[in-house]
Each structure stands twice: as C-alpha cells, then as structure tokens.
Amino acid sequence: MYAVIKTGGKQYKVAAGEKIKVEQIAAEVGQEIVINEVLALGSGAELKVGTPLVEGATVTATVVAQGKHDKVRIFKMRRRKHYQKRQGHRQTYTELQISAVQG
C-alpha cells in the first residue's frame, strides 16, 4: 500500500519502510509523527483519491535525522556594468522513516 502525502508545500509518494527527505519539521530525532494530509491511497491497481484529502487516512513516520542539503551557489552578473553578486544557500531537511500507512 502506498500514499501520496503533502508536507512542506510538496507532494511525496510513500510506502511503509521507505526513507524520505522532506522540508524541515519541528520534531526531535526519534520522535514519531503522524501526517494527516493524505491526498491519495493506492494498493495495486486500486486508487482512492481524496477531495482534496482522503478522510481517515494517516501516515505514521519516525524522525531519523535533521540536517542540511549541499550548498547551492548563486552567481549573478551584469556584463559591462561592474556588477557581480555571489551567494550561497543550504536548505534544511528532516529525514523520515515511514512506518505505516493507514487508510
């Protein structure tokens, strides 16, 4: 059984036993969280789509780690204008271990 969940403004297809990296969630490492925003549930050829959410469906996950992705370098330049700007960004993430999909 798999589910399509929404967290951090993005959608993820998850199944029990998977590890995913999502936008940072305020939770401690080892803490169990429940995600209620389930957009769709699937099992084989069967698919149950919510309007917009599937009622009564939840995904249980455990926080494995909190961290930062690799640095993304931003470079802006205007030719012949003596303008150069260098910037860097490291996005934070939360790594989740999906333990159960209930529907």
Work out the average pLDDT over 61-85. 98
In the block, residue with structure tokens 């150069």: 84
Residue 22's pLDDT is 97
Report residue 46's pLDDT band, with 50, 70 and 90 as the boundaries.
Answer: very high
Instruction: Identify the band that residue 103 occupies on the pLDDT scale cut at 50, 70 and 90.
Output: confident
- CA distances 17 to 4, 23, 85, Å, are 15, 19, 43
- Amino acid 74: pLDDT: 98
